[in-house]
Each structure stands twice: as C-alpha cells, then as structure tokens.
Amino acid sequence: MDKKLLINLSKFRECGNQSCDETPPEGFFSHLTGTTGLKSIRELAVFQFTCRKCEDAPCITVCPAEALEKDDNGMIERYTNLCISCKSCVAICPFGTMMSDFFDHHRKKDLFFDLSDEHELREFIKACPVGSVELVDMDENPEQNIYKLNDQILVKENIWNTDKQ
Ligand code: SF4
Ligand code: SF4
C-alpha cells in the first residue's frame, strides 16, 4: 500500500468499553508472523506505546501459561501460541494496556485480516469501528500524538512518555 494506515487506539479502547456491539477485527502482516505466533498490529502498538514497561511486570508474574516475557528493550511480548486467554494479565495491569478483546480472537479466526493483501486491507478498514482506522498520507507527528509503528503503520495514542525506548 502507498498510504499508511493510521490506527487510533483510543477508539478501539472505547469499543472495548461497550460502545460497540461487536468484537473489532484484527489486522496483521503475514510476513511478520514468527515463532511467537500471529501478532496483531493493535497488540504490537499497545506494547510499544501504551505499556509502561513496569519493572516488576505483574502481567508476567500473573500469567499461568508463561506466555509473556520482556525482550531486551523491556518490551512485553506475548506468545500467542502459549496464551490460554485467561485475561489475568488484563485484570492485573494497572494501566489498561491490553484490551480484553485481544483474547477473543483465539476463537474467532474470521476476524483476522492480512494487511499485506489489498482486498483484506479494504475489508479490515470497513470492519473497524468508525473513526478508528484510516489511510493517510503523512508521517509521524508527535504533536498530534501520532507515532510510527513501522513503515506502513502509524498509531495515535496518548503515550505516557515521549521516550519510546
Ligand atoms: S503490567 Fe501493564 S504496563 Fe506493566 S508491564 Fe505489564 S502490560 Fe505493561
Ligand atoms: S491472557 Fe494469555 S498472556 Fe494473559 S495471563 Fe492469560 S495466558 Fe497469560
């Protein structure tokens, strides 16, 4: 895609707080699927921009499946192939980092869209909550709380600190 996809995380969060009737879809890039399982762009975004990288990381401690760990930069990573969707990490995180609908997708594979594919990208945008995702022709703009996740994705989020580590 020529344009970038702008993901507004607060709109998705509002959806998780019952303003939407349906579970929002997830977008991923098939070429980014690695040994830790399928990674949605929302999950990559919240661990990079919303998570406060707690030193004691209670989310890791509470996880009964050893599905969470920190990488060398202190960024949390979820092994989606180990996660049992208990949502203990959602409950214990003091900052609401993880959205509880992330874990519904284990059983709803039809909600996943491969954004490498133009048709699936269009379907993903249509299926997302109103105002949560749009194609834009712009670059990262921290003054508008817009940050670069990767070359194709921008994320709008009120981050707790501008040092993205
Ligand atoms: S508890 Fe929440 S904010 Fe703290 S490291 Fe875990 S996900 Fe990040
Ligand atoms: S939802 Fe998954 S990652 Fe979170 S605590 Fe449960 S098993 Fe661990």
Domain annotation covers residue 164:
no
**pLDDT given for residue 94 in this prediction:** 94
The proportion of the chain whose per-residue pLDDT surpasses 70, expressed as a percent, equals 85
Higher pLDDT, 148 or 160: 148
Domain that holds residue 54: 4-156
Domain annotation covers residue 165:
no
Q: Which ligand is nearest to the CA of 105?
A: 2
Specify the ligand 2 atom closest to the Cα of 78: 3
Probe target for ligand 2 pocket from 38, 82, 86, with the most ligand atoms within 8 Å of CB = 86
Q: Report how far ligand 1's centroid is from the alpha carbon of 77 (Å).
A: 11
pLDDT tens, residue by residue, 89-144 = 999 999 989 887 777 656 567 788 889 899 999 999 999 988 899 999 999 999 99
Q: Report how far ligand 2's centroid is from the alpha carbon of 117 (Å).
A: 29
Is the pLDDT at 36 greater than 70? The verdict is no
Residues in the chain: 165
Q: Report how far ligand 2's centroid is from the alpha carbon of 118 (Å).
A: 32
Q: Which ligand is nearest to the CA of 71?
A: 1
Domain annotation covers residue 81:
yes
**pLDDT given for residue 47 in this prediction:** 93
**pLDDT given for residue 65 in this prediction:** 95
Residue 104 amino acid letter: D
pTM, rounded to two decimals: 0.80
The stretch 72-101 carries a mean pLDDT of: 89
Domain annotation covers residue 51:
yes
Given a contact cutoff of 8 angstroms between Cβ atoms, the answer to whether 47 and 97 are in contact is yes
Given a contact cutoff of 8 angstroms between Cβ atoms, the answer to whether 42 and 7 are in contact is yes
Report which secondary-structure segment, H or E, holds 69.
Answer: strand 68-70
Domain annotation covers residue 9:
yes
Q: How many domains does the chain have?
A: 1
Rounded Cα–Cα distance for residues 4 and 19 (Å):
26
Q: Which two tokens stand for residue 15?
A: 């959806």
pLDDT tens, residue by residue, 135-148 = 999 999 999 999 99
The proportion of the chain whose per-residue pLDDT surpasses 90, expressed as a percent, equals 49
Specify the ligand 2 atom closest to the Cα of 103: 1
Which residue's entry shows tokens 């762009």?
Answer: 41
